[in-house]
Amino acid sequence: MPVRREKAERLADEELMPWIGRKDAEAFEVFYDRHGGAAYSLAYRILGERGAAEDCVQEAFISIWRSGGKFDPTRGSVRSWTLSIVRNRAIDVLRSKAGKAPKMTFDDDEILESRPSEELTEEEAMRHETASEVRGALSQLPDEQSKVIQLAYFGGFSQSEIAAMLNVPLGTVKGRMRLGLEKIRGELAEGLA
């Protein structure tokens, strides 16, 4: 028998997951209401495009609907599990876009220079390059440091929210963030030298 919405709203996230595993629509609606906003915020911060972020979140939640019973509470909270699925989808989108650079069939500089730029101005190109460098530096960090920085900067969560999501003390989150940011600064400084 399906769970009623009023009951589903009173359930903790971990208690909703078995219902989602049984394809209960009411439980899934409550789950989406709780996590959809944070998921979209994270996807948008990573992808920078509204439509791409919406598609990413939709794909992530479809995946969760299909595999809701596979949530493992020993590996973290439902929220961090959900956001990691969204993050991975968004990164896949970025990777697929990076591999789709247009192929030029000619290299006449005069013709190329006379064409108006559709998207990338110098400023936009610099922003994109900087974002790529930061993402590269993030990928070099230990998972614990990378996760807190991504949740803060891409997810928009405060340090206390991150501590609650990850079930770790606030001081641990602050320490991981400080160490991670120091490593990123060092990595980016090396790139400038």
Q: What is the pLDDT of residues 49-75, one digit of tens each?
A: 899 999 999 999 999 988 866 888 887
Cα–Cα distance list, 187 to 80, 117, 192 (Å): 27, 32, 9
The alpha carbons of the chain give a radius of gyration, in whole angstroms, of 20
Cα–Cα distance list, 96 to 42, 101, 140, 141 (Å): 18, 10, 21, 23
CB contact set of 165 (below 8 Å; sequence gap of 6+): 77, 79, 80, 83, 151, 157
Can you give the residue ranges of every domain in the chain? 1-98, 120-193
Instruction: Provide mean pLDDT across the span 150-162.
Output: 78
Q: What is the pLDDT of residue 71?
A: 82
Cα–Cα distance list, 137 to 89, 98, 185 (Å): 19, 17, 9
Comparing 168 with 125, the larger pLDDT belongs to 168
- Block residue for tokens 């919406």: 54
Q: What is the pLDDT of residues 83-121, one digit of tens each?
A: 888 988 888 888 777 665 444 444 444 444 444 444 445
Q: Which of 102, 184, 108 shows the shortest CA–CA distance to 142? A: 184
Q: Which of 189, 99, 88 shows the shortest CA–CA distance to 146? A: 88
Instruction: Say whether domain 1-98 belongs to CATH 3.40.50.1820.
Output: no
Report yes or no on whether pTM surpasses 0.75.
no
- Block residue for tokens 């944070």: 38
Q: What is the pLDDT of residue 158?
A: 82
The matching CATH number, chosen from 3.40.630.10, 1.10.10.10, 3.40.50.360, 1.25.10.10, for 120-193 is 1.10.10.10
